[in-house]
Amino acid sequence: MPPEEKSFHMTSEEFRRHGRAVVDWIADYYDRVESLPVLSPAKPGQIRAALPAAPPATGEPFDAILRDVERVILPGITHWQSPNFFAYFPANASPPAILGELLSAGLGVQGMLWATSPACTELETHVLDWLVGMLGLPEKFLSTGAGGGVIQDTASSATLCALLAARERATGFAVNRRGGDAHLTAYTSSQAHSSVEKAVKIAGLGRENLRLIEVDDKFALRPEALARAMDDDRRAGRVPCFVCATVGTTSSNALDPVAEIGAICKERGVWLHVDAAMSGTAALCPEFRFIHRGLELADSYCFNPHKWMFTNFDCDCFYVADRRALIEALSVLPEYLRNPATESGAVFDYRDWQIPLGRRFRALKLWFVIRHYGVEGLQHHVRRHVELAQQFAGWVRADERFELAAPAPLNLVCFRHRGGDAANQTLLDGLNQSGALYLTHTRLNDKLTLRLSVGQTRTEARHVARAWHLIQAEASRL
C-alpha cells in the first residue's frame, strides 16, 4: 500500500456538514432579511478595517468563517433580496435558482465547447428555445432555424456582441481583418442604458459616432428623428450599422416603438438590437406581449432573467436571427480547441457566441427556475408585481402633494413630490437612511424623480403599502 498523500482538502463528510450549515444560513437569512436595513449603513473602509491585514498561514475552522460572514460581511450588504428593495431594477434570487447555481459550482464544468460538456451546451440551447415560446418571441430566434439563443453574463455583453456582429456584417468582416476605418455610426435613444455607449467605445466606433436620438413625451425614441439622423449620416459618407432600441428604459421604463424602428432599419439594411433587460420578462404574460410589437424585425434581442425572472445573477438571454453573423464575427479556432464534434458542424460551440472563451453552466439555474415555478408560477408573480406597481401609481395620483413623472406601463413607477428637487432629495435621503426601504432616483425633464421598482422575489402587497405609508409620512415631515 502506498502511503496516504498529505491533503488539506475538505472531506466529503465535512462538506456535507458545512454545506447543510450554509443552506440553513441562507434559509434563515431569507426569513429575517425583511427586518434588516435594506441599504447598507457601512462607511467607506469599514469592512476592510474589520478584516485581518494578512491571510491565515494555516487553515481555519469552517464555523469561524461562517461566523465572520455574519459579523463582518453582513453589515456591508445592501439587501437586494429584501422585499423592501425598490431601487434600480431588481437582481432577483430564488431558492431553485440558488440550488441550480450550487449544482453548477459542484459540477465545476467549463462549457466553452460542446465537447467540454455536451449537456452544458444542449440544456442551454433547449431552455433558450423554451423561452422563445414562453415569451412569445419571433420563431426566427429558435435554434432550429438560422438563429438561436445563448446565455451571456449581462445585457451589456449581449449589446457588445450584437454590435460586433453588426459591425462585421456592415463591412463584409473587414474590421476584423484589417481594423477600423469604415466611418461606422450607431444609434440609440437619449434614454438608453449606458452599456450602449460602452459597447460603442469597446467596438472601436468611437463615442462621437453614437447618435443619441431624441425622445417623445413618454421618453420613447422618435422614429422620424432616427431616420433623419441615419440619412444625414449616409449623405455625409458615414455607414449606419447598428441601432439599439430599448423595451423598458432604466430611467423610466419607456418602450421604444420597435415596429417603426424595425421598418427604418430594414429599409436601410441596418442591424437592430432590442434591449429588454428588465421588462422582457413581462412577456411571460400574454397581456403584456404588446411590449414586443415589431420584434420580428429585429436582428437580435436580449432580456435578463437575473433581473425579474427569479434567476440569480448572472443570466442574460441573448438571441440572434442569423447566428452565422455572430459566430463569424467572434470565432477564432486555435489548434488546441479542434475536435471532431466541432469539425462535424453538428454542434454549437458557445465560445463563438460570446467574448470570453470559458463559460459556466448557467443554464442549470434557469432550468431549475422554469421547472420549479412552471409557466403558471412565473406568470403569477410577474402579474402580481405589475398589479402592485399600478396600485402604487394610483395612490400617487390621488395624493395632491405628488405627481407621476412618466407613464408606468409595467412595474416601475416614476414619481416626485411637487415641492421641487430639494424636497425630493430630502425625502429620498430620509427614506433610505431609515433602512425600512430602498428607492433610487433619476432625472426626467431635468427634475429629480424618485423610482419605485416592484419586482423583488418576495415583495407582496403589504410591502408596497408600507412603502407608500412611509413615503407619505416622510412627506408630512418636509
Report if residue 230 touches ligand PLP, rule: CB under 6 A.
no
Distance CA 328, CA 386 (A): 40
Q: CB neighbours of 244 closer than 8 A, spacing ≥ 6?
A: 159, 162, 163, 186, 187, 188, 192, 196, 273, 274, 275
Which CB, 121 or 249, lies closer to ligand PLP?
Answer: 249
Site pattern 94..133 for ligand PLP (x: CB under 6 A): ----------------------------------------
Interacting residue with ligand PLP among 79, 140, 193, 451 (CB under 6 A): 193
Interacting residue with ligand PLP among 124, 275, 352, 474 (CB under 6 A): 275
Which CB, 425 or 440, lies closer to ligand PLP?
Answer: 440
Q: Are strands 447-453 and 440-444 parallel, antiparallel or unpaired?
A: antiparallel
Interacting residue with ligand PLP among 250, 300, 432, 456 (CB under 6 A): 250
Report if residue 412 touches ligand PLP, rule: CB under 6 A.
no
Report if residue 89 touches ligand PLP, rule: CB under 6 A.
yes
Q: With beta carbons less than 8 A apart as the criterion, state whether 184 and 241 touch.
A: yes
Cα dist. 419→216, 309, 424, 428, 433 in Å?
Answer: 25, 36, 7, 13, 20
Contacts with ligand PLP in 313-332 (CB under 6 A)?
A: 316
Interacting residue with ligand PLP among 39, 162, 277, 405 (CB under 6 A): 277
Q: With beta carbons less than 8 A apart as the criterion, state whether 82 and 37 touch.
A: no
To ligand PLP, the closest distance from the beta carbon of 244 in angstroms equals 9
To ligand PLP, the closest distance from the beta carbon of 291 in angstroms equals 12
Report if residue 451 touches ligand PLP, rule: CB under 6 A.
no
Which CB, 278 or 370, lies closer to ligand PLP?
Answer: 278
Interacting residue with ligand PLP among 186, 278, 325, 410 (CB under 6 A): 278
E-only strand ranges, 334-471: 402-404, 412-417, 440-444, 447-453
Site pattern 130..169 for ligand PLP (x: CB under 6 A): ------------------------xxx-------------
Nearest CA to 293 out of 252, 317, 257, 266 is that of 257
Q: With beta carbons less than 8 A apart as the criterion, state whether 294 and 257 touch.
A: yes
Which CB, 350 or 402, lies closer to ligand PLP?
Answer: 350
Q: Are strands 184-189 and 239-246 parallel, antiparallel or unpaired?
A: parallel
Neighbours of 147 (CB within 10 A): 23
Which CB, 220 or 278, lies closer to ligand PLP?
Answer: 278
- DSSP notation for 305-318: HHHHSS--SS-EEE
Binding site for ligand PLP (CB under 6 A): 89, 154-156, 193, 195, 246, 248-250, 275, 277-278, 304, 316
